[in-house]
């Protein structure tokens, strides 16, 4: 991977965005959250990644600050690299 082994998660968010990183939640998320806080799709990806011996999961809803145009522009330019350098990509 770009900096180690990680899973890139490509998935449909569904109708509601219940757990995303925003300018408001960034500091809270950076300090940590529990597996139980995550939506089922991301939680399942984390559990499968752990089973595979992979510690990190990249999910756009958490790794991109959703209400920051600057962060979206920066991260969107890196998405090809993020997905192509992942150890594995899960599609859900």
Each residue's pLDDT tens digit, 35-72: 999 999 999 999 999 999 999 999 999 999 999 999 99
Q: Helix or strand or coil: residue 77?
A: helix
Q: Note the helical H segments in 1-92.
A: 26-31, 40-51, 60-63, 69-85
Condensed to tens digits (0 to 9), the pLDDT of residues 21-32 reads 999 999 999 999
Which pair of tokens denotes residue 50? 């752990």
State percent of the chain over pLDDT 70: 92
Rounded to whole angstroms, how far apart are CA atoms 38 and 18? 9
- Tell me which of 3 and 52 has the higher pLDDT: 52
Q: Decide if 56 contacts 49 (C-beta within 8 A).
A: yes
State which H helix or E strand residue 45 sits in.
Answer: helix 40-51
């Amino acid at each position: 991977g770009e900096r180690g082994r990680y899973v890139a998660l490509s998935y449909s968010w569904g109708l509601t965005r219940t757990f995303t990183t925003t300018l408001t939640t960034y500091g809270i998320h950076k300090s940590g959250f529990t597996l139980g806080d995550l939506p089922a799709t991301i939680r399942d990806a984390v559990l499968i990644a752990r089973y595979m011996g992979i510690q990190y999961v990249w999910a756009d809803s958490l790794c991109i600050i959703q209400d920051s145009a600057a962060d979206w522009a920066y991260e969107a330019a890196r998405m090809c690299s993020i997905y192509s350098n992942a150890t594995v990509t899960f599609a859900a």
